[in-house]
Amino acid sequence: MRIIVATCSAEYTGRLTAHLPKAKRVLLIKGDSSVLIFSELGSYKPLNWMAPPCVLNERWFDVSRKNGDKQGGAVAILKAHATKSSDRLVVRLYEIDSDESYDLGIDPGLMKDGVEDQLQHYLSEQIERIGPGARLVRREYPTPIGPVDILAVDGNGVTTAIEIKRHGDIDGVEQLTRYVTLLDRDERLSPVRGIFAAQTITPQARTLAIDRGFKCLILDYEDMKNQGDTDLTLF
């Protein structure tokens, strides 16, 4: 990891063309030669960057011989170009405040806890939450328009598509609608009903879901987790 603090300007061409006027900024150059340019404000997204995989070219100019003017006063130019596309980032450095390198080594990486995955995991284990006698067909049931979160058969033997969200909004209902409409055309599965399951459901989504004939199911994460743990103690 190389960290440069410098007055710089930059040009990016690729999916779009963008220009960064001269100003003092922080440049991070990672071990894979990717480049990030940060300013004092904004969230974690850099002002401009080059993503890996890329190749970095660096050229320094001898300003004392006054040929620096040829570069518009630039002391150095960094050119990064993507190896898999035609993306290019050209950074001109004018005044260097700092230029240090560190070897960070390999990072053990981030460990995450509980997300939608967990909800899906627990609900597929506790499928009777959608009604007594229900049986799981499979998680991530594949269709031509994407996988259904859970496909099950309810107590009456009716095929049931379940869409799971942490927070259920209109888009989720649309998604479920697409799946149910498509699956319902399969005569081996038809009729297919839908269940919209989420920790929270917006009123609009609930209205739309019910209007489309779907059942809404509120998922209590803590409760599901506890039952999951309880199930384990049975062994």
Q: Which residues bind a copy of itself (CB under 8 A)?
A: 1, 3, 5, 15-21, 23-26, 28, 30-32, 34, 36, 38-49, 51-52, 97-98, 100, 102, 104-115, 144-146, 166, 170-171, 174, 178, 203-204, 207-208
Report the residue from 151, 154, 172, 214 that binds DNA according to the rule CB under 7 A: 172
The 94-123 site mask, x for binding DNA (CB under 7 A), equals: ----------------x-x--xx-------
CB of 223 to DNA, least distance (A): 19
The 196-235 site mask, x for binding DNA (CB under 7 A), equals: ------xxxx------------------------------
Q: Phi and psi at residue 105, in whole multiples of 5°?
A: 80, -175
Which of 30/215 has CB closer to a copy of itself? 30
Q: Which two tokens stand for residue 94?
A: 């004018």
* Residue 87 contact partner, candidates DNA, a copy of itself, none, CB within 5 to 8 A by sort of partner: DNA
Pairwise CA distance, residues 166 & 149, whole Å: 12
- DSSP letter (8 states) at residue 51: P
CB of 175 to DNA, least distance (A): 6
Residue 16 CB partners (closer than 8 Å, separation 6+): none
Pairwise CA distance, residues 206 & 203, whole Å: 5
* Binding of residue 147 to DNA (CB under 7 A): yes
* Residue 140 contact partner, candidates a copy of itself, DNA, none, CB within 5 to 8 A by sort of partner: DNA
Q: Which helix (H) or strand (E) holds 191?
A: none
Pairwise CA distance, residues 161 & 177, whole Å: 10
Report the residue from 40, 45, 103, 188 that binds DNA according to the rule CB under 7 A: 45
CB atoms within 10 A of CB 183: 22
- DSSP letter (8 states) at residue 31: T
Kindly give the pairing relationship between strand 88-101 and strand 76-82.
Answer: antiparallel
* Residue 153 contact partner, candidates DNA, a copy of itself, none, CB within 5 to 8 A by sort of partner: none
CB 22 within 8 A of CB 7: yes
Region for 218 from its dihedrals, namely left if φ exceeds 0, alpha if ψ lies in -120 to 50, beta otherwise = beta
By CB under 7 A, name the binding residues for DNA.
12, 14-16, 18, 42-45, 48-51, 82, 87, 89, 110, 112, 115-116, 140, 142, 145-147, 165-166, 169-172, 175, 202-205
